[in-house]
Structures are given as structure tokens and as C-alpha cells.
A = this chain, B = another copy of it.
Amino acid sequence: MLYSLVMAGGSGTRFWPMSRELFPKQFLSFEKEGSLLSRTIDRILPLIPEERIALVVGTAHASETRRILQSMNGGQGRHPRLIVEPRSLNTLPAIAVASLAVEKEDPDAVVSVMASDHLISPQDHFLALLQHAAQIAQTEKVLLTFGIPPHRPETGFGYLELGEALPAFSTGLFAAAKVARFVEKPDIETARRFVEGKNHHWNSGMFVFSVKVFFEELERFQPTLFASLQPLKEALGTSGERRELDHFYRTASSVSIDYGLMELSSRVWSLSGPIDWKDVGSWSALDDIAPKDSRGNVVRGNALVIDSDNTIVQADKRVIATIGLKDMIVVDTDDATLICAKDQAQKVREVVSRLRERNAVEALEHRTTHRPWGSYTILDQGPMYKIKSVTVNPQARLSLQMHLHRSEHWVVIAGTARVTLGEEEIFLHTNQSIDIPKSTRHRIENPGKVPLIVIEVQNGEYLEEDDIIRFQDDYRRMEEAPGLDSPPLRSKGS
């Protein structure tokens, strides 16, 4: 059986201010079709059903990932498995742990590893390529990687140097070859030679192998890592699983699958085919994927673009007016704006690291935060007060909770709320309000069919999110934790 491991880590630096630490690139939608993450899953679903897909995520991104997965099919039906890592350790430990979980289910499984933030088309070619690779991986007991023939001298990718061609495993569409070696990101001259020489392909970072071959090669080239996996393997599905997972992540070293396995193994083949593959690496990559006006501008949202050329303007609600810009990137969000020369887009990381040094919240999260039950936006804050607009989805409710340091005042703007306050239960309609004193159990619920919008005015000496005592939570956030099959996605098919 063919499985897929989707790597959904990501630090949210390169697409700041649209991406944030808590809202990395895979959550972004660059086109209308949905987030990069949901498009990655949609792309493979015809070949690999949800129950054979596992997403590897960090604890900080688990909840938003779940929300995206649920919204993909309206909260109904099947979801991919979620593997929540206790900490981030690069790709090899993550793939090893995920492969362990797959192996337990099907020791003969073939696994396809892919990133959650690439754009690939056309879908039918890609699925045929995947199927062909899975077959070779199974019969020939090799590790396959997808090589992309370069059409420009790109210095931002690693390359594969091709070895012996394998005509027996090639078809009209796909070409197979042994991989002679992996080449690190080249300088521009070398990259030009690679394009001309036609013997080097971009390393797409996608891999296909049987779990058997993967663990054989892992044992050979990373014996320490392999050995430290064994206690976890034995504990899988037992009460000790969580403890062993934590232990593994505390002790394993951080290494990529490229460096720790692929470059060392002599059983690596490459497969290439007529697919269009894009690693959306920075804001300037939007030039490749978005439609342009007659002067080469990519313009979205409430923008007024005057006498500007080859400029990307990503506006939101506010008016963004540009005059006389050339080769620039302008990205606006609620609380931060980036204005950047296109050829210096890689320096966006520097902005994020400087914001982190200042402990600026703009590096971490957006003003609007999504929750399993809906979302909230901070409208204003000052000493002793904070004002939020809170949207509760139909049939959803927040946890039963209490705050020690703040009182709250709710005004219903739209929809109907059922409010629990102490032992009481009260219905509130548009324009009605209620006071929630400090240290009082409360809960808000949307029992209706349309979104409930509430304005929340907080008053108190400490107004952070961590002043919360949860008594009951539909979304198990009281027990939010790393794990190999994190709730509520354990049960297959429901």
C-alpha cells in the first residue's frame, strides 16, 4: 500500500508579514484554490486516501492544521493522521518516526514523502509519477527521489547529479536514472553549467521508498538514530508511547534526510517527468504563480497602483497606494507592512529576527487568531483593557473557563449566544450584553445556524491569553500534546 508523509513544519519567516511563527507558509493561500497545505493533500487524495496520509507538525501548528483539515470537507468525514512532534529536529527524525507508525500498520508499505508548501501541476502527471515511483521502490528496493530538470540557473536549490540511465524503468513520460551524487546549492556559474549540461536536476525534496528499505539504510548509515528508535517502536500503541516519543526527541540529533541518508546511500534512483514544480520560496516567487497586469504588476486587494512596474502589491482591508515603484514587493496585513526590493526578498528573515529580539508579537501571530470554535481579532488595547471581536461558528462553543485577573463584558453583534455564567444559563440576542466577573466559570456557545459575533471588552491588570483555567473543552485543548496520532484524528473514517 502507498502512504504519504507530508512534512508540515515551517518557521513562518520568509513570507512575513502574511506568515507568522504560529501561521507558517503552508497555511497561506497564494491562489484561490486554498492553502498550500490543503492543496498538497487534495493533490494526492485520488491516489492515497486520508487514512494513509500522515501530517508531521509541531505542537504550535497542530490546532491550525486540524482546523484546515476539518474545513477541507466541511468538518465531515475522514481526516489524515496528525503526528505532532514534541520539538522540531529536521526531516530525518520526523520521517523515521512517521515511517515507524506506518510500518506498524503495514510492514510492506511504500511511503512517499512530500513538503506541504510546494505547488505541483498537472495533477494527473504527478500522480502517475508517484505511482511509477512506488512500483520501482517496491520491486527494485531503492530510495527514489524526484528530479526536476532545471529551466533557469537557480542558486537556491540543491541539485542531483545523474548517473547511469535506467531505460528499463523509463517510459514515454518518465525518465529514471541512478543518482551519482547530491550537490549543494551552487554558485551562479555552476548553476549555469548545470542547466547547459543537462545532467543535473533540481532536488525537489520528495522521496519514495518502502519502509523496509528505508530502515535498512537507516540502520546502516545512522545506527545510533536507528537504535534509539527501537524503544519507541516497542511502545507504539501502548501507554508508554508518549514517554518514548518524548525521549526519542530529546536524544535524537537534528539531521536532514538528504544529508543523513540519501547522500550516503548507493541505492538512490531519480525519476523525472513532465511536471511543473514550484517551491514557493519567497515573496518574489509570486511572480511565477500569479496573473499580472500590463505593466507586470501582481495586484491584490484594496490597492491603488500608479505608474508602477513589476511590483507585487498584496493589500488587505486598508488602502495601499503605490506611486512610481519598480521591482518592489508590498505586503500589508492588519498590524504590519513589508516594503521590499524584489531582489532582496530573502532579507525578510532579518526583519523577523529583529522583531523576535524585541519580543514583538508581530513576529509570532496575526491580530486575528483562528481557534477550533471560530476566531477572534484584537481591535484595540491599552492599559487595563483589551477589546476583541469574537466569532463563534454555528454549533460551536468555547471551553468552560474562568479568568483570575480580568472581568469581561460581552455585547452580541450578530446571531444568538447561549451563555453559561456560574450555575445560570442565559440566551443573549443582538444588542444584548452581559458582565462576566473575575473568577466566575463561564462559557459562550453558538446554538444557532449563523455565525455569532460578540464584542468582548476585557478589564483587568493582566490581559494575556494564559490567564485561563479550562474546566471542559470540546477540542481537548486541556490535553493538547505531542503524539503519533493526535486526537481527534485517531479514529479512521469518522
Could you tell me which A residues sit within 8 Å of B by CB distance?
16-17, 304, 306-307, 318-325, 328, 330, 332, 334-341, 343-345, 347-348, 350-351, 354-355, 360, 362, 377, 379-380, 382-385, 387, 389, 407, 409, 411, 413-414, 430-431, 433, 435, 453, 455, 457, 459
User: A409 to B411, Cβ gap below 8 A?
Assistant: yes
User: A324 to B337, Cβ gap below 8 A?
Assistant: no
Which residues of B have CB within 8 Å of A350?
306, 323
Look across to chain B and name the residue whose beta carbon is closest to the beta carbon of A362.
B319
Look across to chain B and name the residue whose beta carbon is closest to the beta carbon of A338.
B321
In the assembled complex, how far is the CB of residue A20 from the closest CB belonging to chain B, in whole angstroms? Answer: 12
Look across to chain B and name the residue whose beta carbon is closest to the beta carbon of A342.
B324
User: A322 to B340, Cβ gap below 8 A?
Assistant: yes
Q: Which of A362, A377, A411 is most buried by chain B, counting CB atoms within 10 A of its CB?
A: A411
Q: Which of B323, B335, B383, B407 contacts A339 (CB 8 A)?
A: B323
User: B351 to A337, Cβ gap below 8 A?
Assistant: no
Complex-state Cα separation, A163 to B18, whole angstroms: 63
User: A332 to B337, Cβ gap below 8 A?
Assistant: yes
Known: A319-B355, A322-B340, A330-B339. 5 other contacts (CB 8 A): A321-B340, A321-B351, A324-B340, A328-B339, A382-B414
Look across to chain B and name the residue whose beta carbon is closest to the beta carbon of A331.
B321
Contacts A335-B318, A384-B413, A387-B455 given; indicate if A351 touches B379 (C-beta within 8 A). no
Which residues of B have CB within 8 Å of A379?
379-380, 387
User: A307 to B457, Cβ gap below 8 A?
Assistant: no
> 7 smallest A-B Cβ distances: which pairs?
A324-B341, A324-B344, A319-B336, A323-B340, A431-B459, A379-B379, A321-B351
User: B459 to A413, Cβ gap below 8 A?
Assistant: yes
Complex-state Cα separation, A14 to B472, whole angstroms: 56
User: A457 to B455, Cβ gap below 8 A?
Assistant: yes
Which residues of B have CB within 8 Å of A455?
387, 455, 457
Q: Which of B325, B328, B459 contacts A430 (CB 8 A)?
A: B459
